[in-house]
Structure 1
């Protein structure tokens, strides 16, 4: 029984899966990544707090003047 080009197709698919899996590996120093992630999280928290504070300062709706 002949498999035709099935072996070649399977090899190509396996190679594509291996390349896709290799892309997900984190690169760089783990300590530096951790510090960068912590800084980004603090920035995000600060932005959210500023947005919340800005919304609380608005007392009336601009369309109808109600709270």
Structure 2
């Protein structure tokens, strides 16, 4: 058994990663929500265009 503290290291890396993700939610929530809505509108328009042509 040479793995030693591999589990503890993985937990520490995962904790560090989740702490970094929480910082992404900072800023103006309305602006962030509008940006996400615009991305979804673009995706929906692309999907409609793709379906209209019969392609995947």
**TM-score normalized by the length of structure 1:** 0.52
* 1:1-67 equivalences in 2 (<5 Å): 13=9, 16-25=13-22, 26-55=25-54
Structure 1 spans left out of the alignment, 5+ residues: 1-8, 57-67
**TM-score normalized by the length of structure 2:** 0.60
Aligned pair count reads 46
Higher helix share: 2
RMSD: 2.5
Structure 2 spans left out of the alignment, 5+ residues: none
Most deviating of 24-33 and 12-21: 12-21
